[in-house]
Every structure is written in C-alpha cells, then in structure tokens.
C-alpha cells in the first residue's frame, strides 16, 4: 500500500463520515471533503497525527448556494492534503485556524475580503487585499459580482456617477 | 520612553514596490511591526475566470515580472493534470532549464539589491552587470528578457537549438566564475559580514511555525525545497543539493542564495547533457474536463502554489494563486522584533519580497474634470507630456528630430 493510500485508510478509520469522500487524487495528492461540523477534528488530526505540518494556503470557492473552503496542507515528504468543506452562503461562518497555524490569518483575511466569509476567532488586524474604502457587501470572487466600469467596458462605475 | 508610530510606504525610498508598513518605535528600537498589503492587487484571479485557459497563461505570466515563468509553469502543470495531458519529456526539461535561468537572474538581482540596501553599491553594479549575461541568454531562447511566453498547455513553445545549448554553457562558465568571486567577497569582506550577521534573526522553530518558504526558510536550517519534496518538470531526474544554512539571519540568506546559484549552474549543465529528443508540446483541447488540481513550484523566492478548478468549458471555474512572498511576509515582524530601525530595509529586502506576486485592478480616476471618468492609457501618456511641458521640460523638438532621423534610416 502506498503512503497516500495509507493516509486515506487512517482517515477513514478515524472518521467514518469521510467514506467515499477521501481519496488519492494522484501520487502525492490526497483530497477529502468533510461536513463543516467535522472539519476541525479532521484538520487537527491531519496536522498532529498525519504530520501535515505545513499550511500552504486556503482557497475559497463560490459554489452557488454555498461557499467552499479548501485548506491545502503539506508534509515534508511532499504529500499534500486538500481538505474541503462548505457552508451556506447566507451564513458563511468559519472558524479561524490561527491557533494551529499562526500563518493562517492572511489567508483567512483574503477569503473574508474576496468571498465574504466571516471568520470567527480572528484577531484584529489590517484587511487584505482590498482597499480600506471598499464597500463592505461587495466580494469580487463571488460569481454574481461583476467588475463595473472597467476601461474595457467603457462604462462608468456606480460610485463614480455619484461624484 | 515615549513610543512613536511611523508609517513606511506605500511610497518610500526603502521600498521597491508599494506596500505600507507601520512601525512602533521606542527611540531607534522597533517594538511592533505591521504590514498592510494589497496595493498591487489587480484582480487577476477574477480576471482568469473570464478568459480562456490559453489567455490565462499570458495573464498569469504577468503576475510577476521576475518569476513570470514560475507562475505560467505552475498554472500549466495544474491544467495539464486536470486534462490528463502527458507533457513531453523534452518540454519538461526545457521548463526546468528556463526555471533555473530565471532563478539565476532573480538571485543575482537580489544580491545587487541587498548590496544597495547596505550601502555596498559596488556589489550592485557588479552583480547587475553580470546579470545581463543571463538576461541575454533568456532573450535569445525566448525572445524576451522577462515574461518569456515559453509555456503552452501541454508543453513549451520554443525548442533549444545546438547553438542555444552552446551559448548557455558558455554563459554558465562566466557566471560560475563570477559567483565564486561573490562567495569569496561574502566570506572575507568584513564590513559585509558585520552588517548582515545577526540582523533579521529567524529561528528554525519560528520559520517552521510561521510557514516560511524558499531561501528564507532554508537559511534558518529548514531543508525544504519543492523541487525535491514534490518534484515537477524534470527535477525528479536531476541531481542537486538543497542549500541550507544555520546562521538564521540576513547573512545566512545571502549565503543560501549564492549557494543556490552554484547549484543552478550545475543543474542546467546536467539538464542540457541529459535532455531527451522528441516533441516539445502535445495538442491540448480547448475545453478542459471538469476537475481540480493543486500545483506547486519552487520559485526563486520559495514555494508558489496554484489551485485550478475546471468546469468542462474553455474557461476555468476558479484559479487561486499563493505566491511565496505572502508566506514569507509574516516572518518579517518576527525578524524585526527589538531591532534597530536602520535594519528595516535590509530585513524586508532579505525575504526578497515581490508584492506584485503577493497582490494581484488598477484604475486611474480623473476627479478634476467636470465629468469624472476612468483615464485611458493614451490620455495618461498625453497628460504626462503636458505636465512636463508646463514644468519647463519639453521634448517635442527632440522627438521630431528623432522621428526625422528614423525616417532617414529607412
């Protein structure tokens, strides 16, 4: 059995709810999808027991009715584990993983700005990456958000018309 | 002592790109440091969703002017994986060769910037002169000094000719000799050693917990390198050493980058010797089947990661980029703890930050006119010419003269 298959077996043994949801995508790539309630325990298990000690980044996805979040973790032997969960778009609350990975805050601020996630437990700090005067309810990576007034379209952005 | 908070940037002589830092000082000592990123955010991830995979390669290549091949390769790898394309081995070798040439130009560029930040401008002049050797090679191989345009989905666009190989090998000899001299300077020049030693300390534990990548991590004795850990392109078939150092400071980061230059010369020679014959690309479908892939690449600044999700059309559903500087910027606060303000420029420079990579819309608004609008490029250029003219600088006669001379030449 390969190392990757081993990881999947360990995950399935510990978390039966991952049945059919955890798989080896290819060599050195393990992926899993978990219900939002189970995320934290799988995440901590992956970090502590399966030795995925590196948090590469967090990807946010707009899935129509839900927002998806993928936590890309890596081990020193090159195997990566992408753990995904989704939350309803009308209540997009996720918990900060800052206490496990002190480098997570910038990635969490990114999903807050660009996708409108609400991150519980995140310390106060500068927003990233949008400007300070960017409207609070506009999140550019949501599929229904369209860039307004770009030079290419020749149209004026709403806020400019107000000036 | 009363604490003073001073802003550094977004426009500041110590920074090469716009980012804003806030530094709390007690006298000359740094008590706290925070960064406000986002000044270079150009909305590239969103823009990718509105363009085809082929167009995205060109767009993604422009995330960074230095690591352009890095981002294009990282993206192409992800798309090839989703589409199930088997990239020809020769193309993988060419990607590795261009990638190493990019690393050489980037590290030489860094060495010059580091020299400049500590007042050693002779080093800047020397390294940037030598960097032209690799820039010329890149221009010869790809047609461009930056944004090489070498990648396509399924391989590379240009092949290497025997003459190219000969020129690269000659250039490697020149650069190797020069790098040996710089290593000697770094090991013997007392002023440089004293200026860099103990500055910007980052312990191994902190490098690990803060997720440092690339030379920043390796100079804190973290032996991580995506080329070895998660091999891509031709790296699984190439032999190279991961250069680490246990100085944990800016001096260590300098030694690591210089050691990596030597390894890159060796890597390129081996790759050129072993490069297989065959095609350099396979045809890629316009529409990419639904799927997702996570791709990693060891950029000159550290690990670059891309996530691509395809939905069966010719445009991606989602493209996510995490450039190395975003991983490393978080270590800077630690490096500056209780240090002197004068160390700030070199400490920031020592992670070799690239904020263009880190942030990825720029619009220029004209608010003075009666109807505010977004300024077009040509308008901006004419405004610049008019502004200079009103300030007594007029190039119109000179331009006319040049134009006439150009006509004569034809």
- CA B91 to CA B151: how far, in whole Å? 9
Please state the rounded mean pLDDT for residues B2-21. Answer: 86
Nearest chain A Cα distance for residue B363, angstroms: 8
Residue A59 and residue B326: Cβ atoms within 8 Å? Answer: no
Any A CB within 8 A of B280 CB = no
Pick from A77, A140, A160: CB nearest B365: A160
One DSSP character per residue, B32-49 reads EEEEE--TT---HHHHHH
pLDDT for res B356: 63
Paired tokens of A93: 């609350």
One DSSP character per residue, B131-166 reads HHHHHHHHHHHHS-SSS---EETTEES-PPPHHHHH
pLDDT for res B171: 97
The DSSP symbol for B375 reads P
Pick from A26, A106, A141: CB nearest B46: A141
Most confident by average pLDDT, B85-99, B325-339, B392-406 = B85-99
Contacts of B313 in chain A (CB under 8 A): none
CB B327 within 8 A of CB B222: no
Q: What is the pLDDT of residues B157-200, one digit of tens each?
A: 999 999 999 999 999 999 999 999 999 999 999 999 999 999 99
Any B CB within 8 A of A160 CB = yes
**Interface pTM, i.e. ipTM:** 0.92
Residue B369 has pLDDT above 70, yes or no: no
- CA A93 to CA A87: how far, in whole Å? 7
Any B CB within 8 A of A57 CB = yes
The tokens 């000899």 sit on which residue? B173
Residue B359 and residue A103: Cβ atoms within 8 Å? Answer: no
Contacts of B303 in chain A (CB under 8 A): 56
Q: What is the pLDDT of residues A100-125, one digit of tens each?
A: 999 999 999 999 999 999 999 998 88
Paired tokens of B395: 């190039």
Residue A149 and residue B43: Cβ atoms within 8 Å? Answer: no
Residue A59 and residue B374: Cβ atoms within 8 Å? Answer: no
Paired tokens of A113: 């700005």
- CA B212 to CA B334: how far, in whole Å? 11
The tokens 């860094």 sit on which residue? B110
- CA B352 to CA B16: how far, in whole Å? 11
CB A30 within 8 A of CB A37: no
| Ramachandran class of B27: left when φ > 0, alpha when ψ lies in -120 to 50, beta otherwise | left
Exposed, middle or buried, B171 (CB in 10 Å: 0-12/13-18/19+)?
Answer: buried
- CA B225 to CA A25: how far, in whole Å? 22
Residue A82 and residue B374: Cβ atoms within 8 Å? Answer: no
Q: What is the pLDDT of residues B221-254, one digit of tens each?
A: 999 999 999 999 999 999 999 999 999 999 999 9
Measured between CA atoms, the residue of chain A closest to residue B376 is: A151
- CA A150 to CA B333: how far, in whole Å? 36
Q: Which of B211, B224, B227 is nearest to B297 (CA)?
A: B227
Pick from A60, A103, A114: CB nearest B327: A103
Q: What is the pLDDT of residues B334-353, one digit of tens each?
A: 999 888 888 888 888 888 77
- CA B75 to CA B56: how far, in whole Å? 9
Mutate one of B305, B318, B357, B358 to test the A interface: name it (highest A CB count within 10 A): B318
- CA B258 to CA B183: how far, in whole Å? 7
Cβ contacts of B219 within 8 Å, gap of 6 or more:
B202, B244, B245, B247, B248, B249, B252, B253, B255, B256
Please state the rounded mean pLDDT for residues B117-138. Answer: 94
pTM score: 0.87
Neighbour-count burial for B190-206, b at 16+ CB within 10 Å, e otherwise: eebeebbeebbbbeeeb
Q: What is the pLDDT along chain A (163 residues), one digit of tens a residue?
A: 899 999 999 999 999 999 999 999 999 999 999 999 999 999 999 999 999 999 999 999 999 999 999 999 999 999 999 999 999 999 999 999 999 999 999 999 999 999 999 999 998 888 899 998 899 889 999 999 987 755 444 444 444 444 4
Paired tokens of B21: 């830092």
């Amino acid at each position: 059995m390969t190392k990757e298959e081993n990881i999947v077996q360990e995950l399935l043994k510990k978390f039966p709810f991952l049945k059919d949801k955890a798989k080896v995508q290819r060599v050195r790539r393990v992926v899993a999808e978990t219900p939002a309630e189970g995320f934290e325990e799988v995440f901590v298990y992956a970090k502590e027991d399966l030795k995925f000690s590196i948090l590469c980044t967090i990807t946010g996805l707009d899935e129509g009715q839900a927002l998806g979040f993928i936590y890309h973790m890596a081990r020193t032997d090159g195997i990566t584990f992408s753990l995904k969960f989704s939350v309803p778009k009308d209540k997009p609350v996720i918990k900060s993983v800052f206490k496990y990975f002190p480098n997570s805050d910038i990635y969490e601020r990114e999903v807050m700005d660009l996708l409108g996630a609400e991150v519980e437990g995140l310390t106060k700090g500068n927003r990233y990456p949008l400007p300070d005067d960017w409207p609070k309810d506009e999140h550019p990576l949501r599929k229904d958000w369209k860039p307004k007034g770009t030079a290419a379209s020749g149209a004026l952005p709403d806020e400019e018309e107000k000036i | 002592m009363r604490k003073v908070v001073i802003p550094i940037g977004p426009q500041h002589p110590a920074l090469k790109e716009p980012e804003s830092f806030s530094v709390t000082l007690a006298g000359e000592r740094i008590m706290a440091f925070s960064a406000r990123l986002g000044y270079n955010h150009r909305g590239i991830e969103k823009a990718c969703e509105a363009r085809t995979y082929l167009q995205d390669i060109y767009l993604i290549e422009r995330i960074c002017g230095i690591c352009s091949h890095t981002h294009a390769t990282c993206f192409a790898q992800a798309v090839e994986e989703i589409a199930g394309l088997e990239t020809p081995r020769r193309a993988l070798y060419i990607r590795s060769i261009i990638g190493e040439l990019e690393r050489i130009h980037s590290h030489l560029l860094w060495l010059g910037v580091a020299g400049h930040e500590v007042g050693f401008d002779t080093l800047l002049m020397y390294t940037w002169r030598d960097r032209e050797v690799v820039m010329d090679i890149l221009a010869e191989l790809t047609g461009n000094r930056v944004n090489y345009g070498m990648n396509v989905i399924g391989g590379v666009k240009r092949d290497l000719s025997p003459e190219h190989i000969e020129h690269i090998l000659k250039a490697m000899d020149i650069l190797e000799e020069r790098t040996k001299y710089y290593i000697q300077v770094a090991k013997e020049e007392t002023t440089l050693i004293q200026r860099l030693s103990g500055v910007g300390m980052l312990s191994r534990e902190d490098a690990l917990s803060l997720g440092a990548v690339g030379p920043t991590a390796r100079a804190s004795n973290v032996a991580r390198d995506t080329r070895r850990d998660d091999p891509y392109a031709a790296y699984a078939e190439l032999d190279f050493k991961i250069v680490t150092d246990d100085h944990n400071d800016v001096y260590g980061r300098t030694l690591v980058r210089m050691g990596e230059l030597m390894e890159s010369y060796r890597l390129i020679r081996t790759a050129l010797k072993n490069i297989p014959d065959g095609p350099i690309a396979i045809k890629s479908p316009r529409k990419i089947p639904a799927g997702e892939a996570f791709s990693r690449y060891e950029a000159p600044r550290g690990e670059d990661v891309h996530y691509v999700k395809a939905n069966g059309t010719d445009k991606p559903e989602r493209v996510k980029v995490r450039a190395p500087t975003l991983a490393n910027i978080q270590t800077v606060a630690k490096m500056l703890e209780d240090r002197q303000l004068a160390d700030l420029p070199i400490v920031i420079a020592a992670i070799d930050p690239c904020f263009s990579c880190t942030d990825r819309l720029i619009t220029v608004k004209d608010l003075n006119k009666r109807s505010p609008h977004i300024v077009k490029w040509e308008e901006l250029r004419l405004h610049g010419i008019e502004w200079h003219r009103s300030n007594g600088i007029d190039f119109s006669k000179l331009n006319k003269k040049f134009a006439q001379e150009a006509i004569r030449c034809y």
